[in-house]
Structure 1
Amino acid sequence: MGFLWALLAIVAELGALFGLILLAWTTLYYLSTAEFPHDICDPHRLKCVYFGSIMLFSMDYILWKIGLCNQYSFVKFMENAPPSFKDPNLSIKHLHVEGIPVRLYQSKAPQNAQRGVLFLHGGAGTLGSLDFYERMCRYISKKSDSVVLSVGYSLVPEQPYPVQFQQCLDVTIHFMKHAEDYGADPDRIIISGDSFGGLLAASICQIIALRDDVPKLHSQVLIYPSLQAVKFNLPSFRQNAHVPLLIQRQFVTFALKYIQKNVTLLDAVLGGTHVPKDIKIKYSKWLDTENIPEEFKVREIQASGPRHSFGDLAELIDQLCGPLLSPLLVEDAIIRQLPQTFILTNQYDVLRDDGILYRRRLEDNGVPVLWHHIEDGFHGNLNLFNYWLLEFSCCKGGMDSIVNYIRSL
């Protein structure tokens, strides 16, 4: 018995030492990488959230390296286990469409066909889940009087790129063809998504616009979307390179992992050497910073010197410049066929200028756009909506702008 207690004491001491090392490493990383502008939304709360997220990813990394789980498995486990509460006003059904798990939110009260909202969650194709986005989807469904279908598409590395796009496209087409079976008005179908989900929504909206065998989408709602993978030195990328919850290097790392490319290409991609000169010239008119209003250049930061490329980057070009990863760069003939659009951006977000440039492209081609900009917002702020102490003061205004837009359709 004495031996057992001694063994337990050793394990406890090792656990405490491990915890202290993890805390010290997290603190060091946190202090060396993050920037918190003085007028960002609830900066002290954001510091706590960011610190906690680094602790979570650090634990995930350690468990992965010692072979106890796959990379990001621990993070996925944690985000799939938020407390969920039944809503007395909503019917929430767990279904499968085309073999893909989905979650359907609709009012329990009998009524005429409602708007139908397809929701594609963010997470860089690696993270995100039906559970993690349940609060957001419940709120949109209840407050906008809409049927919301949230899509639980497969993630990498379990399913490689571009399976995520194809699954979301399959569910979208099915929902549009069978909208009435879900209590939705087939003439008022809206596709929406945040961050990576906004990329999926924008790409799918373009594909649907070119097809004659499915109904047309009524609108698209793009929430701080990622819309291009060509120019990572736009003002928002430089200004917010170290602003949580999405720092510049982390974003590009996730992008490379999503398309199964070696992360050693990170510096080459950040420096723009992944795109040849002729491609840059071709897309310069759409990525020119002259298309970004002057007020968004006030915090302009001098661009870093050019980085030299290494390795063969040619195979990246078709993927990163194609419509699945850069819907901002498709031809005007496609843009002109898109439906009315809502775009939400955050001031302190590396993806801010993607949304601003897409707004300009849409408006230049006669597409009606409603743009909502959160002056003190940061990337991913709406993911924390209705998360009690984790909710930020800028969340409700952003969520209500989305709801009000959908209600107007």
Structure 2
Amino acid sequence: MELCSSLAIKRLVLSAWRPGPAPGVRQEDARFGRVPVRLYRPRWPPARPRAAVLLFHGGGWICCSIDSHERVCQYLAEESDSLVVSVGYRLAPEHKYPAAYEDCLSATLHFLQHLQHFAVDPARVTVCGDSAGGNLAAAVSQSLAGRSDLPRLRAQILLYPGLQALDFNLPSYQQNRGVPLLFQEQAVYSSLLYVQGDASNLEEVLEGSHVPLDLRLKYRKWVNADNIPEEFKVRGYKPHKPREFKPEVFEKLKRICKPTLCPLFAEDENIRQLPETFILTCEYDVLRDDGLLYKKRLEDNGVPVTWYHLEDGIHGIVNLFDYPGLTFPSGKRGLDRVVAFIKGL
């Protein structure tokens, strides 16, 4: 009927269900500067200063919200006895890159600079995100690595993160191109809306025409199917030869070289300073190999990594752990592993 856009409908559907307050958690809406946040505190008095988790929601930078991830935040707060801060960053295409990244970094800086107001342990502050939120958590963690004027992040938790826009034909993108909840084309579509505000050049990016040969060679040591373990290629993989480079497309998308957009492109010096990391990947997810490649980069640079792979998982599974009529046991298994990781810090 052309009353509103399909993106508006998607946003409404994904944020429509809110579970309501959890009995064991106190919730409070606030602002960290100009960034809206929602705080989740366990109701019982802590035996010691609590850990804190800053959560950046997924949704391809274009949808979802604080509301869509409320049940996950309630569960994390109650089960891990942590203060959870859910960050409501600006969405694309209305607000292109680097708006989401800047909001998440700003909220994290505000929190770290005012820890005395939240009764948390400065040595146990973690950033966490799923999908696009995992991208933002990785970017924020890299931006804060090595800073001596703030408490050091204790850990980063990356749930099926998207970490690069160089190659959308890695094995997982080929194997799972038509698997919900994230299709191959949809991954490119949301990335383009975040970077340039529209989805033009989608076909060129899918075919690899958006990256010049020199950059492709430069990043090949990090974004390369050869770095994916062979057991993840048994469902079929055919090496993809990029189409002819189109300079006009690269000119529009050249910001993909920035680590704050593609964290896999950070230099080793920065990677070595990152905190302990938890990475969750799902077998039936186009973003699986982004997580596997980042796992290798971190381990190669001496960063401790806890990796959990859901062999029966699909993209977005953790957020469906308690969704009415659409609950998946593997989603709860993944979330419980996150809880165990937080409690072990």
- Shared fold by TM > 0.5? yes
Q: Does 1:358 align with 2:294?
A: yes
Q: Which amino acid aligns with 2:313?
A: G
Report the counterpart of residue 77 of structure 1 in structure 2.
12
Q: Which amino acid aligns with 2:71?
A: R
Q: Secondary structure at the match of 1:343?
A: strand
Q: Secondary structure at the match of 1:390?
A: coil
Q: Secondary structure at the match of 2:77?
A: helix
TM superposition shift of 1:262: 4.5
Report the counterpart of residue 90 of structure 1 in structure 2.
25
Question: For the Cα contact (< 8 Å) 2:61–2:91, is it kept in 1?
Answer: yes
* Distance of aligned partners of 1:206 and 1:306 in 2 relative to their CA distance in 1, 3 Å threshold: closer
Q: Structure 2: how far apart are the matches of 1:359 and 1:168? A: 22
For structure 1, which runs of at least 5 residues remain unmatched after alignment?
1-62
Q: Does 1:194 align with 2:147?
A: no
Q: Structure 1: how far apart are the matches of 2:22 and 2:62? A: 29
Q: Which amino acid aligns with 2:343?
A: R
Q: Which contiguous aligned blocks of 4+ residues in structure 1 show a shift greater than 3 angstroms?
A: 303-311
Q: Which string of whole-angstrom CA distances, capped at 9 and with x for unpartnered residues, describes residues 300-358 of structure 1?
A: 23245643455702324531121122111111100000000000000011100110110
Q: Which amino acid aligns with 1:206?
A: Q
TM-score, with structure 2 as normaliser: 0.95
Question: For the Cα contact (< 8 Å) 2:55–2:127, is it kept in 1?
Answer: yes
Q: Structure 2: how far apart are the matches of 1:333 and 1:305? A: 31
Q: Which amino acid aligns with 1:342?
A: F
Alignment of 1:203-222 (within 5 A): 203-222=139-158
Report the counterpart of residue 338 of structure 2 in structure 1.
402
TM superposition shift of 1:391: 0.7
TM superposition shift of 1:289: 2.0
Alignment of 1:369-384 (within 5 A): 369-384=305-320
* Distance of aligned partners of 1:304 and 1:358 in 2 relative to their CA distance in 1, 3 Å threshold: closer
Rg: which structure is higher? 1
TM superposition shift of 1:83: 3.6
TM superposition shift of 1:73: 1.9
Question: For the Cα contact (< 8 Å) 1:113–1:180, is it kept in 2?
Answer: no
* Distance of aligned partners of 1:261 and 1:79 in 2 relative to their CA distance in 1, 3 Å threshold: closer
Q: Does 1:390 align with 2:320?
A: no
Q: Which amino acid aligns with 2:132?
A: F
Report the counterpart of residue 79 of structure 2 in structure 1.
143
Identity of aligned residues (%): 47
* Distance of aligned partners of 1:301 and 1:218 in 2 relative to their CA distance in 1, 3 Å threshold: same
Alignment of 1:105-116 (within 5 A): 105-111=40-46, 112-116=48-52
Report the counterpart of residue 266 of structure 1 in structure 2.
202
Question: For the Cα contact (< 8 Å) 1:203–1:323, is it kept in 2?
Answer: yes
Aligned residues: 344
2:183 to 247, 252, 265: 247
Report the counterpart of residue 172 of structure 1 in structure 2.
108
Q: Which amino acid aligns with 1:84?
A: P
Report the counterpart of residue 35 of structure 2 in structure 1.
100
Q: Which amino acid aligns with 1:214?
A: L
Q: Which has more helix, going by share of residues?
A: 1
Question: For the Cα contact (< 8 Å) 1:80–1:129, is it kept in 2?
Answer: yes
TM-score, with structure 1 as normaliser: 0.81
* Distance of aligned partners of 1:201 and 1:144 in 2 relative to their CA distance in 1, 3 Å threshold: same
* Distance of aligned partners of 1:74 and 1:404 in 2 relative to their CA distance in 1, 3 Å threshold: same
Question: For the Cα contact (< 8 Å) 1:238–1:303, is it kept in 2?
Answer: no
Report the counterpart of residue 123 of structure 1 in structure 2.
59
TM superposition shift of 1:243: 0.9
Q: Structure 2: how far apart are the matches of 1:180 and 1:107? A: 18
Question: For the Cα contact (< 8 Å) 1:268–1:308, is it kept in 2?
Answer: no
Q: Which amino acid aligns with 1:343?
A: I
Q: Which stretch shows the higher mean deviation, 68-77 or 199-208?
A: 68-77
Question: For the Cα contact (< 8 Å) 2:212–2:247, is it kept in 1?
Answer: no
Report the counterpart of residue 158 of structure 1 in structure 2.
94
Report the counterpart of residue 289 of structure 1 in structure 2.
225
* Distance of aligned partners of 1:290 and 1:143 in 2 relative to their CA distance in 1, 3 Å threshold: same
Q: Structure 1: how far apart are the matches of 2:269 and 2:203? A: 34
Q: CA-atom RMSD, angstroms?
A: 1.6
Q: Structure 1: how far apart are the matches of 2:254 and 2:304? A: 30
Question: For the Cα contact (< 8 Å) 2:210–2:246, is it kept in 1?
Answer: no
